[in-house]
Structure 1
Amino acid sequence: MSIELVLGGARSGKSRYAESVVNQALQQQVELGSCPDSKKHYVATAEAFDDEMRQRIQHHQRSRDSLWQQWQTPLELAQQLKQFDAKDIVLIDCLTLWMNNQIFYAGESCNDELLECKVQQLVEALLECKAHVVLVSNEVGLGVVPLGKVSRLFVDNAGRMNQRLASIADKVVFVAAGLPMTLKHDVKAGS
């Protein structure tokens, strides 16, 4: 089990970097012969609500090779993580879209407590998951403080989510202008 968190702003190169991490992990497992039936999985949280988003999704899909097993999981990431085991390398892209989906689908009933519960479920599922998991999330704390209530709910909870995930992650990388900067790297015994 290994958890890597990749943070960055919009168009920072974080998804491309995360995909390269998964590809390297798969190659390493194949070369070492430690898990010859390893598979790489792409868990997408985005939904195509309009043409522009459909084009973004298609662009991302075209950039990946055919070895990826694709999963569309806009809401139930904790449940999805139960599908994977030690032979799997899983990329979840993107957690801030997942947070947005939680707010959107909960509607007026959405609040900090509901979102904290969803993040807690995700944290527990990650800690139980035996797969190598790479998480992608936007760093939302570097922008302008939003004026609207729903926007503040999103930014506050996305920031808290990133902090929680960083605390359990083995490795945290911040990507800016396509350049990865390691913020945390806990080396496990025997690694």
Structure 2
Amino acid sequence: MSFDHHLIVGGQRSGKSRQAERLAQAWLRQSADHRVTVVATALAFDDEMRERIRRHQAERPAGMDTVEAPLALSQALLAHAAPGRLLLVDCLTLWLTNWLMPASNQPDLAGWRAEREAVLALLPQLPSPVVFVSNEVGWGIVPMSREVRAFVDELGWLNQAVAQRCQQLTLMVAGQPWTRPVVPHEE
């Protein structure tokens, strides 16, 4: 099995993280020299989120290091990328949330745009394959609030941009992966 950049999308509780961990385990089985670093983007602002993070950590397979990058994803990717190391980013949705819906202040749109572009520019240059996890949130009704509509739009654009820099795309539905090669856009 070859490993390239891979985007896994799906709804909440669709099995995205578990599928990403399966890919990471397959990577580890390929060579005793392979390593995996999970780049976690979640921030624990309440008890429910703390429990989700704790559960993800407890269920994560052995042999996977974890680093936290709630905002500076480009720096984390650059710092941990290396030949023989797979990076698993879980997840783009929370990363975007941290930028656009921060718990303590106004969104930093300029910072978000700069960080987004830095991540996108970095992907083709990384010596590591990256598996991204993200939610697909645009299949429901149009949200009532301007802020939520803007978030849904931004996540859709982010997912599209990341997908164009990946070689594989998996849609998770009811715990089942549907994987296909990414078709590059004609520009």
Same-fold call, TM cutoff 0.5: yes
Q: Distance in 1 between matches of 2:93 and 2:8?
A: 12
**In the alignment, which residue of structure 2 is the partner of 1:47?**
43
Give the superposed CA RMSD.
1.8
Match of 1:98 among 95, 98, 106: 95
Q: Distance in 2 between matches of 1:88 and 1:40?
A: 5
Paired letter, 2:178: M
**In the alignment, which residue of structure 1 is the partner of 2:21?**
19
| Native 8 Å contact 1:116 1:157 kept in 2 | no
| Native 8 Å contact 1:90 1:131 kept in 2 | yes
Q: Distance in 2 between matches of 1:154 and 1:114?
A: 15
CA apart distance, 1:144: 2.0
Match of 2:57 among 61, 77, 82: 61
Q: Distance in 2 between matches of 1:108 and 1:26?
A: 41
Q: Distance in 2 between matches of 1:130 and 1:4?
A: 14
**In the alignment, which residue of structure 2 is the partner of 1:189?**
none
Partner of 1:82, secondary structure, is helix
Partner of 2:26, secondary structure, is helix
CA apart distance, 1:114: 5.3
What do residues 68-105 of structure 1 show as CA deviations (whole Å, max 9, x unaligned)? 11111100000111121111111100100000001134
Structure 2 unaligned blocks of 5 or more? none
**In the alignment, which residue of structure 2 is the partner of 1:108?**
106
Partner of 1:108, secondary structure, is coil
Q: Distance in 2 between matches of 1:41 and 1:109?
A: 28
Q: Distance in 2 between matches of 1:124 and 1:40?
A: 22
Q: Distance in 2 between matches of 1:19 and 1:144?
A: 31
Structure 1 unaligned blocks of 5 or more? 31-35, 187-191
Q: Distance in 2 between matches of 1:152 and 1:19?
A: 31
Partner of 1:164, secondary structure, is helix
| Native 8 Å contact 1:42 1:90 kept in 2 | yes
Q: Distance in 1 between matches of 2:128 and 2:176?
A: 26
What is the TM-score with the length of structure 1 in the denominator? 0.87
Paired letter, 1:44: A
Paired letter, 1:49: F
How has the CA–CA distance of structure 1 residues 109 and 53 changed in structure 2, closer, same or farther, with 3 Å as cutoff?
closer
| Native 8 Å contact 2:163 2:182 kept in 1 | no
Paired letter, 2:133: V
| Number of residue pairs aligned between Structure 1 and Structure 2 | 179
**In the alignment, which residue of structure 1 is the partner of 2:169?**
172
Paired letter, 2:39: V
Partner of 2:8, secondary structure, is strand
Matched, 1:141 2:124: no
